[in-house]
């Protein structure tokens, strides 16, 4: 009578530290399509996803810099990932969108938009399901790849977004483009 039945925890027999480690071992990734390939970025870097709209082009920029957008009063540069990876510029469709990525650089936060063919879904991937980046065979630079996630028997390329959107590298490439055009103009 009056007996209290205690429910057994779902992870019985495991110490709390092991449970916390297992939870920390799973990360969420936003997956998207780009030129027929599935890519992923860590969800913690994703600020928002917006419809592809009016982009103001900036003259004398590298081909992968599409231009800038006005995002609630802030100027946000937009990078065409397909062109950044050495391919053709993305052809826009009704599913094309811009993923706003927030990056920390020298104690500052920068928002950068990336053009993708279509956003797929947010997936949870265990670190046990992430293989190291291949040293050959990928269509993009090896240093852009953080790993290969195994999801439902298929591989998803997990991007090292800090390298793909390196503020220093993009600035130096833009400087080279400006320098080349400046020297062509006799400056």
pLDDT value at residue 63: 85
Does some domain include residue 16? Answer: no
Long-range pairs for 37-41: beta carbons < 8 A, 24 or more residues apart: 37/139, 37/157, 38/120, 38/154, 38/156, 38/157, 39/81, 39/116, 39/156, 39/157, 39/158, 39/159, 40/123, 40/125, 40/149, 40/156, 40/157, 40/158, 40/159, 41/99, 41/101, 41/158, 41/159, 41/161
State the CATH number of the domain containing residue 54. Answer: 2.40.50.180
* The two three-digit tokens of residue 70, written as one number: 């006005």
pLDDT value at residue 90: 87
- Domain that residue 49 falls in: 27-184
Domain count, the chain: 1
pLDDT value at residue 137: 61
Does some domain include residue 130? Answer: yes
Residue 97 C-alpha from the chain's centroid: 13
CA distance linking residue 94 with residue 63, whole number of Å: 22
pLDDT value at residue 174: 60
Intervals of the chain under pLDDT 70:
1-24, 136-138, 170-187
Does some domain include residue 6? Answer: no
pLDDT value at residue 134: 74
- On whether the CB atoms of residues 125 and 45 are closer than 8 A, the answer is no
pLDDT value at residue 159: 94
pLDDT value at residue 136: 65
pLDDT value at residue 103: 87
Does some domain include residue 125? Answer: yes
pLDDT value at residue 109: 84
């Amino acid at each position: 009578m009056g007996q209290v039945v205690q429910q057994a925890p779902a992870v019985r027999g495991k110490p709390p530290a092991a449970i916390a480690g297992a939870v920390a071992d799973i990360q969420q990734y936003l997956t998207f399509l780009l030129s027929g390939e599935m890519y992923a970025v860590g969800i913690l870097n994703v600020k928002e996803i917006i419809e592809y709209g009016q982009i103001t082009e900036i003259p004398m920029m590298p081909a992968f810099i599409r231009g800038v957008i006005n995002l609630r009063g802030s100027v946000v540069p937009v990078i065409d990932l397909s062109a950044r990876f050495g391919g053709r510029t993305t052809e826009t469709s009704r599913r094309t969108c811009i993923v706003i990525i927030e990056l920390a650089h020298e104690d500052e936060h920068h928002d950068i938009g990336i053009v993708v063919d279509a956003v797929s879904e947010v997936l949870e991937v265990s670190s046990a399901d992430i293989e190291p980046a291949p040293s050959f065979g990928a269509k993009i630079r090896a240093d852009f790849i953080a790993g290969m996630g195994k999801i439902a028997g298929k591989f998803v390329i997990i991007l090292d977004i800090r390298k793909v959107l390196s503020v220093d590298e993009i600035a130096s490439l833009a400087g080279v483009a400006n320098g080349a055009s400046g020297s062509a103009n006799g400056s």
